[in-house]
Structure 1
Amino acid sequence: MDKLNDVTNSYKKNSTFYILSLFFQEHIHEIPYITMDEVAIRTFVSKSQISKYVRYLDYKTYIDFKDACLEYLESLERRRHDFDVYDNMKDNILNFTNTMIYFLNSLTNSLDYNRLELLIKQLTSANTIYVFAQGDARYLCHQIQTELQVINKNVIICDVDFNHSYDINDNDLLLVLSIDGNTFKYNKRVVKRLEETNGTKWLISCQSNIRFKGKQLHVPIQYEKFNAYFFKYVIDLLILNLKQTY
């Protein structure tokens, strides 16, 4: 969705790319189940232009793009909390809060604090911090940048496809945020560019089995519908402790 938003925000309304982006945004729930032929008929855009568009978004084929849309929809479903229709609002909120407290305690007991401390130490010593994320985690890049400006830490937010050529050297740190690990599952070319980057590299993710050429901080969450909430909580802890070093 970040990629689609980037196109609609930067292209003219009569351009082919804008038309396709708007169509995909408005019909995101249909995309995993419709063919390129149907998209072409409904948008009056040729199949060759659709192929060019999905390659521009950094997907090899329309099928790869459909898979990414399906994963996005599944991630939305995983975060949806079904309140009991027979309970009133207060009871639903109390049950939700009690569940969060239970799993938050589990997280704080399972977190690798030595690993967290090492990350904070290396962030502190880095000349420049480059932050990269896609999807749900992207807004956290802006939070990190804003919070660390207070302590005069230079933070650069990388573009959503990591296409820009960043001058990252051995004294810098690249921090990759991937809540569910979807970047590493669906964006192989982005992962390749991340791997080819210099400097110290760290990945923070709720997934523990990701192959990443760098250090990792695993956010151990037992209930995946809370991934986004507790991932942000760990980022808040990271920022809070990093500020204490200055």
Structure 2
Amino acid sequence: MTATPPNPTTLEKLRNVSVATLATALYKRGLRHQVIQDVRPVKAKGRNMVGPAFTLRYMPAREDRNQLVEFRNPEHPQRHAIETCPPGHVLVMDSRRNADAASAGDILITRLMVRGGAGIVTDGGFRDAMNIGELDMPAYHSRPSSPTNLTINEAIDINVPIGCGDAPVFPGDIVVGDDDSVIIIPAHLADEVADEATEMTAYEDFAMEQVRAGETIIGLYPATREENLVKFTAWRAQNDR
């Protein structure tokens, strides 16, 4: 069954909120494990990565199945994922939280970028990370890793439910990454979470401005004093928020 394309307005809102704020919005809905653990930007981009998830799953390699000759196969799942990930999507890889061998390198990731990929995430590592960091596409991993993935991992399945850094990822879920980390928003919650996070961000920006001006956080963050809500309403009008 083909997933419903995400609302472009929702994606735009998610480009302007932090992973931390989204984590709080999901926590309110009982979801506590949506942040991908031990994953960070190869290089900060100063902008959010946002897009539906397209997934690749690795399993432990069996030596007789994972020689270099496997890369000659045009249907090799790793290569096939790079060539079939839809434009605007984020390729998310379950690499078993193991960065002892690389999940991909700069040539494959450059190909994904040229094809219109919105980003790439692995809970393993990338080889050629110094080159990947210079690409104009966000990339997230655990740490640099040089050995080929065939050393310990076999790419086995494409666009199936996976776990990445202990976060559950279903194809079509919305992936958001900022300069800190990456979070997975279940597709059916994306619209409402984007709306709530946008509202939360407006108040957080107001609160930060107040704190910088010397105000106490008590009654301000969280907003438990009515006077701060009155100030916030005036601030929103003044700042078109």
TM-score by length of 2: 0.23
Greater relative contact order: 1 or 2 (C-alpha under 8 angstroms, separation 6 or more)?
2
Considering fraction of residues, name the structure with more strand.
Answer: 2
